[in-house]
Amino acid sequence: MLPKGNLLREPRAIRIKFAKTGKLRYISHLDLCRTLNSAFLRSGIPIWYSQGFNPRPKMVFALTVSVGAESVAEYLDIRITHEMSEGEIAKRLQNALTPELEILEVYRPTAKLQEVALSEYHIYTERPLNPEAVEAALKLPMVVMVHGKKGDKEKDISEQIVSVSVDGDRIRACLRAGQGDFLNPENFMKGLLTALGESECLYLIRRVACYDADGQLFR
C-alpha cells in the first residue's frame, strides 16, 4: 500500500530534531511517544520496527521534558528500512503532525545521543527576579527533594548548575543533562524560587539547546 524506495542493506540511522511548544507542553512524554508512533505510521516513512514478539516502531529520545515545559531542542533517533531522503522524511513527518510539534532538522547522525551533557534553558517568570538575589542564592548549597527511582530524597543540586544569568523576567540557565548526571529544570526552579522566597511565582521552561561535554552544540 505504501510507496517505498529501494530496500536498504542495513537500516539507516536518522536523527530528528524537533520542537514541542504551545499546547503540546501539556502532553507527557509517554503521550508524545504514542503521537509520534502513529504519526510515523500515517506518514509512510519506512521506519524500522523493534524485533521480537510485539514489534513496534523503534524510537530513541535524547532527553525528555516535563509536562508544562517547552523545548526547541528535542532529539529523536529512528532507523529506516528503505531509501528515503532526509528532506522527504522531514516533509512527511511534519504533514503528519500539528505545527506545535515542529520538525526542525532531519539528518544522519554522527554523534551518539548519550553525548548530550548539558542543556540550556530559557525560563520565563511571572515577575522579574532580582539578579543579585539570584547570584547570592547560587553561592549557597541548594537542597531540593528529588524524585528518584528509590523514592524522594533530599539532594544538593548546586554542583549540577553550570551557569545562570537573569535578564528581566527571563532566566538563562545551563544545567547538567548527561546520563546519570541530569538536573531536571523543574527541580532547579523549585530550589531557586524557594531560596528567593518566591515559591508561588509561575514560570515557563523552554529548552533551547543541548551541548556535549566539550561545550559544543550537540548535533
Partner 1 sequence: MNFDLKDKILRSVTKPGRYIGGEYGEILKDKNAVKCRFAFAFPDTYEIGMSNLGVRILYGALNREEDIWCERCYSPWVDMEEQLRSHNLPMWAHESGDPLKDFDFLGFTLQYEMCYTNVVNLLDLAQIPLLSADRREDDPIVIGGGPCTYNPEPVCDFFDLFSIGEGEDALVEVCRLYINMKENGTYTRKSFLHEAAKLPGFYVPSLYTVTYKEDGTIEAYTPVFDDIPKRITKRIMKDLNTSYYPEKVVMPYIETVHDRIMLEVYRGCIRGCRFCQAGMTYRPVREKTPEILNEQAKKLYEATGYDEISLSSLSISDYTCLDTLTDELLEWTDEAKVSLSLPSLRVNSFTPELMEKISGVRASGITFAPEAGTQRLRDVINKNLTEEDLLRACNVAFDYGKNTVKLYFMNGLPTETDDDIRGIAELARCVVSAYYKNPKAMKNRAPTVTVSVSCFIPKPWTPFQWEPQQTMEELRRKQTVLFEAVSKMKHVTYKWHDAKTSHLEGVFARGDRRLSKALLAAHRRGLKFDSWDEFFDYDAWMAVFEECGIDPAFYANRTYSEDEVLAWDIIDPGVTKEFLKRERKKAYAEITTPSCREQCSGCGANKLGGERSCCPKGTS
Binding site for partner 1 (CB under 8 A): 1-2, 22-24, 26-28, 31-32, 34-35, 37-44, 49, 54-55, 67-68, 96-98, 100, 124-126, 169-170, 202, 204
Q: How many CB atoms sit inside 10 A of residue 179's CB?
A: 11
* Shortest distance (Å) from residue 105 CB to partner 1: 21
Are the CB atoms for 14 and 110 separated by under 8 Å? Answer: no
Strand runs labelled E in the chain = 7-20, 60-61, 70-82, 101-107, 118-125, 143-148, 151-156, 161-167, 170-178, 181-182, 203-211
88 SS3 class: helix
Smallest separation (angstroms) from partner 1 to the CB of 158: 26
**Sequence letter at residue 120:** E
**Cell digits for 27?**
502532553
Q: How far is the CB of 83 from partner 1 (least distance, A)?
A: 18
Complex with partner 1: residue 28 or 85, whichever CB lies closer: 28
Partner residues linked to 171 by β-bridges: 123, 166
In the complex, least distance from residue 6 CB atom to partner 1, rounded to whole angstroms:
17
Judge residue 189's burial from the number of C-beta atoms within 10 Å of its C-beta, 0-12 exposed, 13-18 middle, 19 or more buried.
buried
Q: Which is nearer to partner 1, 34 or 112 (CB)?
A: 34
Q: Rounded to the nearest 5°, which phi and psi values hold at 42?
A: -80, -15
Q: Which is nearer to partner 1, 34 or 153 (CB)?
A: 34
| Cβ at position 76, least distance to partner 1 in Å | 16
Nearer to partner 1 (CB atom), residue 31 or residue 83? 31
| Residue with smaller CB distance to partner 1, 14 or 93 | 93
β partners of residue 125: 203
In the complex with partner 1, the residue whose CB is nearer, 88 or 212, is 88
Question: How near is the Cβ of 93 to partner 1 at its closest, in Å?
Answer: 11
